[in-house]
Each structure stands twice: as structure tokens, then as C-alpha cells.
Amino acid sequence: FSQALDWTHEALVVVHNLRWKSPVPLHGWKDFHLAVPELVVQFCVSCELMSQIFLYIGNTGSAMSVLSKGIRETISIPGDWRRRRDFKDATDMRKQVDIGQLRHPDPKSRPTHISDPRLQVWGSWTRLHAKRPVKKELMERQGHTCFIWKSRLYLAGGRNGTFTFFRDLWYLDLEADDLAWRKLPDYPVPVEETNMFWNWTMVVHDNKAYVVNGRRNVDYFDLITEKWERLQCTYEPLSRNERNWPY
């Protein structure tokens, strides 16, 4: 499996090098698509093969990741190339939906034998039974941010399946005898200023959880006082880019 993944990974290496050689700097959130249909097809086929290998050995997280990389390339493929059988098989959205419904790793796909311990995910799942809030405010969600500080698991933002977006903050004390979610103050900055609290990151440092959302001023939640605060930041542009904060 390791050798097969090395060979198929060459396609990703080629694409990464083409991206890095771009004369225009491409930030992580900027899409980069190949202009040669033959390369696009080979890239998508390689990603699908890597995904199947990871899925076979129970590494469902990596299987989902590489399959998504290939499917994202379909935006740059001409219409006549889309009819190719190998391309259609490699970019079948149903495969992404099926793998996306799994947990990572998923107990149902766990292999019964060890074929490559370096690539297979070890461990097992255990469910924690915690009391839900009385008002049932804590709803199932995705695209949220979470982190652990001391013995507490924090959860913030995200949305549910019907696209209701949240700006709340909760924590669960993992060492408590009686597990129960506790609500903390909501993120106070209005959505008109920040857009949705969706797929953001919170980074913990010195008992503070900093919100990373691209704004010049940085908001943070003080984990001791349990209050939201803000760092007022300045911006010093590069000489070739004399303008205001770009985001």
C-alpha cells in the first residue's frame, strides 16, 4: 500500500509544484486549476485511486481528503473531456457523499487485519453521554470550531443541516462526574461585520482563545474571566502594496 500511495501521490506533487511556480502568489484560499485536460484527468484518476487505497485500510479521513482534491478539479475540465469513462468514474459525486457520511475513522470500515501500521488509524470510538441544555439550544452542527483547554471541550459557531448559522459558545467539562453542556456568552460581533461564524479557527494561548477570521482587529475569549475582548491591531503595508487592510 505504501508503494502504491507513493506512485499515485506523484500527481499531487506535480500540481503542487505548478502552483508554487505561479508568477502570481496564490494564497491557500485561492483555487488553482490545471489548464491541460490530460493532466486534469490523470490528477483526478490518481486522487480516486489514492482514496480507494486509504478506504481499504480504514483511513477514511485521508480517503475523503484526497477524493475531494480530485473532484474540485472538475471545474476546469472542458465539456468533451467530461464524457470520458475514466474521468466520470473518478469524479462520481456519489463516492464523496458516501465517504462523507462516515466518521473518521469509521468503525464500520475498520479492517480486520493490519496491513500497514504506519498508514492505518489506531484506537477506537467511545461515546460520552452528556445532558443537553433544557432549551435544546445546542443542536447538531458542522463547520464549527472546537478546542480543548485544561479539562474542557469548547465548541463554537457552525451551522446545522437546514443552514441555520450559530454564533454561540459552549463547553463540556470532561472531568465532571455529571457531564452537561454549559453555555457561554455568544460571539458579540454582528454578522454584518464578520459574515457567518463558519469554518473559522480558534487558537488558544495564555488562557485566551483567539478567533482567526481575517479581520484586522483580533477578537478573543478570556477563558478565565469568560468574557469576550478585542486586540486593536495596526496594519503596516508592504512598499509595493500601499493600501488598507485587504480582507
pLDDT tens digits, one per residue of 88-126 = 777 787 888 888 888 777 777 766 667 777 777 777 788
SS3 state of residue 89: helix
Note whether 58 and 122 are within 8 A (CB).
no
pLDDT at 85: 75
Q: How high does pLDDT run on average in the chain?
A: 85
Would the pTM count as exceeding 0.75? no
The residue type found at 35 is A
Distance (Å, whole) CA 93 – CA 31: 19
pLDDT tens digits, one per residue of 181-225 = 999 999 999 999 999 999 999 999 999 999 988 888 999 999 999
Predicted confidence (pLDDT) at residue 86 exceeds the cutoff of 80: no
- Grid coordinates representing 130 are 452528556
Q: How confident is the model at residue 19 (pLDDT cuts 50, 70, 90)?
A: confident
- Grid coordinates representing 214 are 481575517
pLDDT tens digits, one per residue of 28-56 = 667 677 777 778 888 888 998 999 999 88
Structural domains in the chain, CATH included, are 2-109 (no CATH), 145-231 (2.40.10)
Distance (Å, whole) CA 74 – CA 87: 9
| 196: nearest Cα among 168, 233, 232 | 168
Distance (Å, whole) CA 149 – CA 169: 14
Among 1-5, 19-23, 131-135, the minimum mean pLDDT is found in: 131-135
Q: How confident is the model at residue 242 (pLDDT cuts 50, 70, 90)?
A: low
Note whether 158 and 195 are within 8 A (CB).
no
Distance (Å, whole) CA 159 – CA 165: 4
Predicted confidence (pLDDT) at residue 240 exceeds the cutoff of 70: no
Phi, psi of 87 (to 5 degrees): -70, -40
Distance (Å, whole) CA 238 – CA 213: 21
